[in-house]
Amino acid sequence: MSSFAQRCGIHDAAREQAVQRLGRLISGQGLELVRFAWCDQHGVLRGKTLVAAAAERALREGVGLVSTLLLKDTSDRTAFKVFEPGGTASLPGFGFANNLLLLADPDSFRQLPWTPATGWLRAQPWFEDGTPVELDTRRVLQRALARLAEAGFTLKCGLEVEFHIYKLQDTQPALDPMQSAWPPPAPAVSLVHPGYNLLAEGWYDQAEEPMRIVQHTAQALGLPLLSLEIELGPSQVEAVFEATDALAAADNMVLFRNAVKMALRRAGYHASFMCRPPFPNIMSSGWHLHQSLCDAGTGRNAFQRDVPKAGTDSSDAAHTLSDLGEHYLAGLLAHARGTTVFCTPTANGFGRFRPNALAPQSVLWGRDNRGALLRVIGGCGDAATRIENRIGEPAANPYLYFASQVHAGLDGIARALRAPRATDAPYAGQGESLPTSLGDALSALEQDTVLCDAFGRGFVDYYTRIKRSEQQRFAAAEDPDEFQRREYFARL
């Protein structure tokens, strides 16, 4: 009798050998538990922990998962009425909190460095009839990258991730049942460095203990960490990663974000990837995405130009980027408003778009300009020529963030769009304004027919419904700051 993985069409002789090798590794390492983890629509890992003896069978037969996990907003409230007739009519395969099955990739195995005798696997959901769950955000990116491959390209991404690390005031805070709420209260914290001294070595030394935990955790998991830095804001830091292919970069971001939160908490710290933590004096955190296309056959950077295009100067995109690179850049600009909700998906993140804050306000690009939405980096003959998108917040789901870039860039290439001249005044009110709230960003997506068609109308309707649940609760909150403390600071 065939296994569930075989019925899904993913289990061949090579995967069977990988499963058997992993079974021997789990036994040989003396592991006791294996976590089967799945990235939800908000970029947060969920899943189940199996005893080690059950892991090998689960790789073939799957792990049960309630389908409502795909239907929840950031508070964990289900945004669809799953027990009412027609409540999930727009979601084929969903209904009545039915079961899905997680199938893990045996090659994704890691041994977790912060907890004893525990392994970890990345998994994706399938329906019980063996068909893929197309709403799974990793699958959304896989579809986008398949479109890119059909055009003859791969996407390379480098990550610069700002976030905050705080010291927990009580390393084992009492979870008072009388104070329990949905979502729960945020933890009480103190700073690990006082801020307002960018890249200060003394501040790094002061924060070295938690930074070492971040370093050791990332490296033990095999993540391509390049540097750890002190950012401008109090308790704000940054991690920079080597560029990799897009799917690996997205997987790395999910694993890094969730792993460092767990490792730091065990040591008495709280890591927050919330854009603007709920304190009077903070600096917003961004997630700057460096991206370039590579020729699928040769691996050459398709954005690289050998010599400036005749008749151009440094304010022209074609002075630095290849023609294809300019078209991709112009596509990102054309769909910047529509992609915003995938890059900045929380109600909190829009407070970052302020003048002179090293964050964008308008749909503009600049030559090595950190105030512009898109920053073109490199020059003729430079194999590292790339476009940096500065709109993202660190809480974004990386699969959706990257997919939005692919779809926007491909439209620019397909229509051979030309980019306007570079800005030298990104905060002077030039260019179309970016959305200023989560609600505005959702509307901008719904009005972008190219993106709706690329993602699929069904996915856009599903995603916007979940995010509107969050936006409506935020708008109705009696205390917006307390809403953000519980919704984002305690959980993201």
Helix, strand, coil content of the chain in percent (nearest 5): 40, 20, 40
| Residue pLDDT, tens place only, 313-366 | 999 999 999 999 999 999 999 999 999 999 999 999 998 988 888 889 999 999
The better pLDDT of the pair 185, 65 is held by 65
Can you tell me whether residue 456 is helix, strand or coil? coil
Q: State pTM to two decimals.
A: 0.96
- Is the distance from CB of 55 to CB of 32 less than 8 angstroms? no
pLDDT band for position 492 (cuts 50, 70, 90): confident
Burial class (CB in 10 A: 0-12, 13-18, 19+), 239: buried
| Fold assignment, 4-133 | Ubiquitin-like (UB roll) (3.10.20)
| Residue pLDDT, tens place only, 431-456 | 899 999 999 999 999 999 999 999 99
Q: Where are the domains of the chain?
A: 4-133, 144-489
| Residue pLDDT, tens place only, 178-215 | 777 777 888 889 999 999 998 899 999 999 999 999 99
Q: 76: which residues sit within 8 A by CB, 6+ positions away?
A: 182, 183
Task: Tell me the backbone φ, ψ of residue 39, rounded to 5 degrees.
Answer: -90, 120
Can you tell me whether residue 237 is helix, strand or coil? strand
The answer regarding whether domain 144-489 maps to CATH 1.10.10.10 reads no
The confidence score (pLDDT) of residue 305 equals: 94
Q: What mean pLDDT do residues 470-481 have?
A: 92
The answer for 97, left when phi > 0, alpha when psi is -120 to 50, beta otherwise, is left
Is the pLDDT at 80 greater than 80? The verdict is yes
Separation CA 53–CA 382 (nearest Å): 51
Separation CA 60–CA 15 (nearest Å): 10
Q: What b/e readout covers 242-280, taking b as 16+ CB neighbours within 10 angstroms? A: ebbebbebbbbbbbbbbbbbebbeeeebbbbbbbbbbbe
Strand locations in 169-235 (E): 189-191, 225-230
Q: What kind and span of H or E run contains 239?
A: strand 236-241
